């Protein structure tokens, strides 16, 4: 565990911050950098098993936090279910293509929707569903 003086607390962006528990948080950080142009705001160093207890990313000018599971401390990994993370972006087609090229699975390609947005969904290799939309002009 780093000394308190080594831990930085970057600003949290957004009112509701998703905190994901994934299998391979260090790999997820690298993946999100490619797929969603994530910037690392802060990250605890991995332990001897390669797990990190906390990573703070900025994606699309909002905070997303993640960690590995620590079942020995009561935090077992569970498959993501019944939610998605929504990214409101300026160009859904470019964002979607970059995410698929990085390794996301296209589950609902972008399409013009009746409510006035261009909308689509994809799933990342860690099981998280991401939705994207761009208001149509």
Taking only the tens place, the pLDDT of each residue in 6-58 is 557 898 988 889 999 999 999 999 999 999 999 999 999 999 999 999 999 99
Question: Exposed e or buried b for every residue in 54-82, given b needs 16+ CB within 10 A?
Answer: ebbbbbbebbbbbbbbeeeeeeeeeebee
Q: Estimate to the nearest angstrom the gap between the alpha carbon of 136 and the chain centroid.
A: 25
pTM (predicted TM-score) = 0.90
Q: Which pLDDT tens digit goes with each residue over 84-115? A: 999 999 999 999 999 999 999 999 999 999 99
CATH number belonging to the domain at 85-135, selected among 3.10.180.10, 3.40.50.150, 3.20.20.10, 3.40.605.10: 3.10.180.10
């Amino acid at each position: 565990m780093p000394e308190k003086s080594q831990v930085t607390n970057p600003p949290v962006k957004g009112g509701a911050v998703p905190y994901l528990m994934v299998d391979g948080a260090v790999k997820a950080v690298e993946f999100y950098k490619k797929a969603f142009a994530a910037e690392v705001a802060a990250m605890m160093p991995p332990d001897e098993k390669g797990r990190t207890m906390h990573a703070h990313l900025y994606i699309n000018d909002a905070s997303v936090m993640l960690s590995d599971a620590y079942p020995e401390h009561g935090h077992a990994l569970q498959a993501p279910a019944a939610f998605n993370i929504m990214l409101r972006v300026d160009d859904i087609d470019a964002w979607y293509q970059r995410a698929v090229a990085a390794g996301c699975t296209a589950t609902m390609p972008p399409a013009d929707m009746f409510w006035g947005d261009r909308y689509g969904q994809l799933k990342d290799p860690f099981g998280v569903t991401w939705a994207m939309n761009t208001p149509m002009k």
